[in-house]
Structure 1
Amino acid sequence: MERVDVLPPPTGGDAVTPDDVTARADARAAVPLLNCLLREVARPEPGDGDESRSVYRLPAGGRLLRVRGHRRPTAPEVRTADGWRPLGHTELVKLVAEELRLYTGVDNHELPGEMTDSRDALAALLTARAAAVPPEDPYLRSEQALLTGHTHHPAPKARGGGPAATWLPYAPEAHARFPLALLGVRADTVVEEGVTSALDAFGTAPPGYRLLPAHPWQLALVADALAPAFADGRLVRLGETAAPVHPTAAIRTVHAPERDVFLKFSLDVRITNDIRRLWRHDLLKLRRTDAAARAAFAAAESPAAWLSDTGYRTASFAFEELAVLVRDGLGGHLLPGATALLAAGLVEGFPGSPLDTTADPDAWWAAYLAQAVPPALGAFATHGVVLEAHLQNTLVAVDAHGMPVQVLYRDAEGVKLVRDVGRAAGWERLVYCLVVNHLTEVAGALAERHPGLDPWPAVRRELARHDLPEIPALLAAPTLPGKTNLLLRWTGADGADARYLPLPSPLAGR
Structure 2
Amino acid sequence: MHRLPLPEAEAALGDELSTVRPDLSAAYVAGLPGARAAVLTRLWRALAHEPMPWIARRERGREGLTLHLVDGRRLHGPPADPYATSAYVTGLRLDERPYDRPDRLVTALAVPHASVFATELGHSVASLALSRAQSGRSGGEPAVSWEWEQRVVDGHPYHPNCRSRPGFSVAEQLAYGPEHRPVVELGLVPVDDCLVRGEWPKWLRDEDRVLIPVHPWQAAHVLDRGHQEGFSAHPLMSLRTLALPDGPHVKTALSARLTSSVRDISVYSIETSATVSAFAEDIAARTDGLLHVTRTLGAVSAHSPALAAVLREAPDLYARTGERVVPVAALAATGLPRSPGWTARFARLALTVGLRLLDLGVALEAHGQNLLVVLSAEGEPLRLVYRDLADIRVSPLRLARHGIAAPRMSGRIVTDDATTLRRKLFGSLVAGALGATAGSAAALREDLGSAVDDLPRTADLAALLDEPLPTKALTLMRLEPGTPGDLWACLPNPFTGRAS
2: distance between equivalents of 1:434 and 1:136?
A: 25
Contact 1:457 1:507 in 2 (8 A): yes
Q: 3-state DSSP class of the match of 1:341?
A: strand
Q: In the alignment, does 2:426 pair up with 1:431?
A: yes
Q: 3-state DSSP class of the match of 2:325?
A: strand
Residue identity matched to 1:501: A
Counting aligned pairs with the same residue, the percent is 23
Q: 3-state DSSP class of the match of 1:414?
A: coil
Matches of residues 3-82 of structure 1 in structure 2 within 5 Å?
16-40=26-50, 41=52, 43-48=58-63, 54-61=64-71, 62-67=73-78, 70=81, 71=84, 72=86, 73-78=88-93, 80=95
2: distance between equivalents of 1:136 and 1:509?
A: 38
Aligned position for 2:375: 398
Cα 1:271/1:14, change in 2 over 3 Å:
closer
Q: TM-score, normalised by structure 2?
A: 0.81
Residue identity matched to 1:469: A
Residue identity matched to 1:505: N
Contact 1:14 1:131 in 2 (8 A): no
Structure 1 stretches lacking a partner, 5+ long: 1-12, 49-53, 231-236
Matches of residues 212-361 of structure 1 in structure 2 within 5 Å?
212-223=212-223, 225-226=224-225, 230=226, 237-241=227-231, 244-259=232-247, 261-316=248-303, 319-347=304-332, 349-350=333-334, 353-354=335-336, 357-360=337-340
Cα 1:131/1:378, change in 2 over 3 Å:
closer
Q: CA deviation at 1:457?
A: 1.4
Q: 3-state DSSP class of the match of 1:85?
A: strand
Q: In the alignment, does 2:486 pair up with 1:498?
A: yes
Cα 1:58/1:119, change in 2 over 3 Å:
farther
2: distance between equivalents of 1:371 and 1:501?
A: 26
Q: 3-state DSSP class of the match of 1:412?
A: coil
1: distance between equivalents of 2:31 and 2:421?
A: 42
Aligned residue-pair number: 448
Contact 2:427 2:470 in 1 (8 A): yes
2: distance between equivalents of 1:482 and 1:446?
A: 14
2: distance between equivalents of 1:301 and 1:131?
A: 39
Q: In the alignment, does 2:460 pair up with 1:470?
A: yes
CA RMSD of aligned residues (A): 2.9
Q: CA deviation at 1:320?
A: 2.3
Q: 3-state DSSP class of the match of 1:192?
A: strand
Contact 1:268 1:277 in 2 (8 A): yes
Residue identity matched to 1:422: D
Contact 1:144 1:249 in 2 (8 A): yes
Cα 1:92/1:268, change in 2 over 3 Å:
same
Contact 1:192 1:314 in 2 (8 A): yes
Cα 1:460/1:453, change in 2 over 3 Å:
closer
Q: CA deviation at 1:441?
A: 2.0
Structure 2 stretches lacking a partner, 5+ long: 1-22, 397-413
Aligned position for 2:349: 371
Q: CA deviation at 1:132?
A: 8.6
Contact 1:304 1:371 in 2 (8 A): no
2:476 aligns with one of 487, 493, 496: 487
Cα 1:161/1:33, change in 2 over 3 Å:
farther
Q: 3-state DSSP class of the match of 1:492?
A: coil
Cα 1:44/1:387, change in 2 over 3 Å:
same
Residue identity matched to 1:37: L
